[in-house]
Amino acid sequence: MARILIAEDESDIRDLVSFTLKFAGHEVITAKDGQEVIDLAQQDMPDLILMDVRMPRMTGYEACLVIKADPILKQVPVMFLSAKGQDAEIKAGMDAGADAYLLKPFGLNELTDQIRSILSNYGK
């Protein structure tokens, strides 16, 4: 299946999403903050990045802008997972280059369906 990088500072959410995606057959890499997601993305070249918005060291928006400015990583789709559901927050995420924005709390089927759709759109 796909190599998916999860960037989430809350360990419970990170572990749940990681377990769900591994169970679905994906290879999973995890990061705890915005800077770590950039470092791991450059090192491991994921097929998809799932990222929280509010993280230490660098927000998800900032990390997404860095990823989308990188000539090698810019083609990697990004999906935000966030409790920040105001229109301005969603717009900021999409303006940063995200392909999708999933609001917490989300159902695990909803998460895997979104991932399947994004990967399909990118031929993965």
For the chain, the domain total comes to 1
Task: Give me the pLDDT at residue 45, please.
Answer: 97
Alpha-carbon distances of 68 from 33, 73, 76, 86, rounded to whole Å? 17, 6, 8, 23
* CATH number assigned to the domain comprising residue 15: 3.40.50.2300
Helix boundaries (H) for 1-124: 11-23, 34-44, 60-69, 87-95, 108-121
Sheet holding 3-7, edge to edge: 27-31, 3-7, 48-52, 78-82, 100-103
18 contacts 62 by C-beta, under 8 angstroms? no
Task: Give me the pLDDT at residue 124, please.
Answer: 84
Task: Give me the pLDDT at residue 97, please.
Answer: 96
Instruction: Give the domain range for residue 36.
Output: 3-121
Pairwise CA distance, residues 73 & 70, whole Å: 5
The three-class DSSP label of residue 3 is: strand
Percent with pLDDT over 90 in the chain: 89
State pLDDT tens for residues 93-111: 999 999 999 999 999 999 9
Task: Give me the pLDDT at residue 121, please.
Answer: 93
Q: Which tokens is 27 given?
A: 């290879």
Mean pLDDT score, 82-89 = 86
Percent with pLDDT over 70 in the chain: 100
CB count within 10 Å of CB 3 equals 15
